[in-house]
A and B are shown apart, each in its own frame.
Chain A
Amino acid sequence: MARRPKSTPIRVLIAKPGLDGHDRGAKVVARALRDAGMEVIYAGLRQTPEDVVRAALEEDVDLIGLSILSGAHMALFPRILTLLKKEKAGHIPVFAGGIIPDEDARRLKKAGVRAIFGPGTTLEEIVTTARQLARGPA
């Protein structure tokens, strides 16, 4: 299906795969994306990769944002990318944030995660990147 016209709201799924104890960071990002005019589907904590992919497809999102603190990113993120491809939805851009060591970040990017935001990233940067990923360069 053709890329949606720029006037329609960007739909983005924010989810926390795995067993993290809190979701403050994900909520801060969700709120920033909301304030940037996006429709944020907030799936919250303890999502399996299957949950994330099912939600992304039902909600027909333009973009998926994953947040993780537990250290399980090398297991969970590639699984989500694989499931998306299996569902012929590999075109949906995935970005991530949380506690992800640089070396892992490099490998995840190679595996197809489009952007990774560590601690200290400004919300402005996240919003700008999210918009570009969803809509292509302005």
Chain B
Amino acid sequence: MSGAARIPPVARAIRRGDRRALARAITAVENADPSIAPVVRALYPGTGTIPLVGLCGPLGVGKSSLLSALIGALRAQGKTVGAIAVDPSSPFTGGSVLGDRIRLERRADDDGVFFRSMASRGEAGGVAATTREVARLLEAAGFDVVFVETVGSGQVDVAIREIATTNVVVLVPHLGDEVQTLKAGLFEIADVFCVNKADLPGSELAARDLAELVSLGKGRDNWAPPIVRTSTTLPLGVSELWQAIASHESFLDTYGGRLAGERRRLAAEIAGRLRDRVGKDVSERLERDPELRTLLDRVVARRTDPMSAADQLYRDWYRRR
């Protein structure tokens, strides 16, 4: 079905390394432009094999500077890098200031790096709804490693787990005592912990608190997240950070976690896509469709409740199909 003749020219251009085609395709994906769907589909089979590295953590911990330093370290090894940096969209105007390029230090003529800023466009969780697809485009364009830097996140912005093969949680000294590290959310999604700004006092203590956390129990899948202290001003620890990421990637390959992880992420993606579509469909029908309007009226009038209404819809409307 996907014979060579069927591959859209834009998909071929992206595979060839045409940077303009890639940049435009990313915009089209962000804008949910239907014309890009065949391109995304044609490129999908060649994806899912490279390290897709998440960088997440609270705002101001130095994720962008680390990203720039990691890009430098990988370029020195001859590896090519795609990078996506997500910043928040305003919930009020939809506007956004995407400021992660400021930290980027690289030669303007280096085609081994492609850096793209993305606005979160109303999506909670630290990434945009289309970040995953954009990462796939970068992979299809042939980059050896793809990074996703998330929105400066709070305790529960863990959507990056549904995208990254290795997720780095970046922290700094003095974010809180060791009990903070026990809390659910951000600390649970680390494959690698990074204590950045190690030039500041307190970074050893922060690293010890994390080591304590890691020692309290087995991590997911028997992986104990390594803890790396880094500083981009000294600089310190950047190549060690990459080594920690690479060792998690080889762990995935050695113990079969890569396929299991990909399976889990793709199941979540399919379910998420369906949830979005059905949710949007139901929201619209509740106002448009006479039968559903009546149901909504009954809920508003307290003659039935939202739970029962949802149950009824699920039974009558979707199971029937």
**A and B: real partners?**
yes
Q: Which of B1-9, B93-101, B172-180, B197-205 forms part of the interface with chain A?
A: B93-101
Flag if A58 contacts B93 (CB, 8 Å).
no
Instruction: Tell me which residues across on chain B come within 8 A of A43, comparing CB atoms.
Output: 101-102
**Is B312 among interface residues, defined by CB-CB distance under 8 A?**
no
Given A48-B108, A50-B109, also A35-B116 (CB < 8 A): no
Which of A34, A50, A58, A89 has a CB less than 8 Å from the CB of B95?
A34
A-B contact count (CB 8 A): 80
- A78, chain B: closest CB distance, angstroms: 17
Flag if A59 contacts B116 (CB, 8 Å).
yes
Flag if B26 contacts A60 (CB, 8 Å).
yes
**Is B117 among interface residues, defined by CB-CB distance under 8 A?**
yes
Which of B90, B98, B109 has a CB less than 8 Å from the CB of A41?
B98
Flag if A9 contacts B26 (CB, 8 Å).
no
CA distance A133 to B301 in the complex (A): 50
**Is B319 among interface residues, defined by CB-CB distance under 8 A?**
no
Could you mark each residue 98-136 of chain B with 1 if its beta carbon is under 8 Å from any beta carbon of chain A, else 0?
110110000011000011110101000000000000000
Flag if A37 contacts B97 (CB, 8 Å).
no
Instruction: Tell me which residues across on chain B come within 8 A of A51, comparing CB atoms.
Output: 108
**Is A1 among interface residues, defined by CB-CB distance under 8 A?**
yes
Instruction: Tell me which residues across on chain A come within 8 A of B99, comparing CB atoms.
Output: 42, 44
Flag if A57 contacts B93 (CB, 8 Å).
no
**Is A54 among interface residues, defined by CB-CB distance under 8 A?**
yes
Given A4-B31, A50-B109, A57-B20, also A30-B117 (CB < 8 A): no
**Is A39 among interface residues, defined by CB-CB distance under 8 A?**
yes
CA distance A36 to B115 in the complex (A): 25
The tally of residues in B whose CB lies under 8 Å from a CB in A reads 27
Flag if B31 contacts A44 (CB, 8 Å).
no
Which of A11, A31, A39, A50 has a CB less than 8 Å from the CB of B108?
A50
- A73, chain B: closest CB distance, angstroms: 19
CA distance A59 to B104 in the complex (A): 14
Could you mark each residue 61-95 of chain A with 1 if its beta carbon is under 8 Å from any beta carbon of chain B, else 0?
00000000000000000000000000111000000
The B interface is mostly helix, strand or loop, or mixed, namely: mixed
Given A54-B108, A58-B19, A59-B23, also A42-B102 (CB < 8 A): yes
Instruction: Tell me which residues across on chain A come within 8 A of B116, comparing CB atoms.
Output: 58-59
Flag if A31 contacts B23 (CB, 8 Å).
no
- In the complex, the chain B residue whose C-beta lies closest to that of A48 is B108
Given A43-B102, A57-B19, A59-B23, also A34-B97 (CB < 8 A): yes
**Is A33 among interface residues, defined by CB-CB distance under 8 A?**
yes
- In the complex, the chain B residue whose C-beta lies closest to that of A15 is B101
- B128, chain A: closest CB distance, angstroms: 11
CA distance A37 to B98 in the complex (A): 13
Flag if A34 contacts B27 (CB, 8 Å).
no
**Is A126 among interface residues, defined by CB-CB distance under 8 A?**
no
Question: Which of B90, B102, B109 is packed against the most chain A CB atoms within 10 Å?
Answer: B102
Instruction: Tell me which residues across on chain B come within 8 A of A108, comparing CB atoms.
Output: none
Instruction: Tell me which residues across on chain A come within 8 A of B208, comparing CB atoms.
Output: none
**Is A40 among interface residues, defined by CB-CB distance under 8 A?**
yes
**Is A115 among interface residues, defined by CB-CB distance under 8 A?**
no
Given A9-B119, A58-B19, also A31-B31 (CB < 8 A): no
- A99, chain B: closest CB distance, angstroms: 22
Could you mark each residue 13-32 of chain B with 1 if its beta carbon is under 8 Å from any beta carbon of chain A, else 0?
00000011001101100110
Instruction: Tell me which residues across on chain A come within 8 A of B89, comparing CB atoms.
Output: 39
Flag if B23 contacts A39 (CB, 8 Å).
no
Flag if A39 contacts B115 (CB, 8 Å).
no
Instruction: Tell me which residues across on chain A come within 8 A of B119, comparing CB atoms.
Output: 9, 39
Given A40-B98, A42-B102, A57-B20, also A35-B117 (CB < 8 A): no
**B→A interface (CB under 8 Å):** 19-20, 23-24, 26-27, 30-31, 89-90, 93-99, 101-102, 108-109, 114-117, 119, 121
11 A-B pairs within 8 Å (CB atoms) are namely A9-B94, A34-B96, A39-B95, A40-B97, A40-B98, A42-B101, A55-B101, A57-B23, A58-B19, A59-B23, A60-B23
- Nearest first, the 3 closest Cβ-Cβ pairs linking A and B are A50-B108, A34-B95, A60-B23
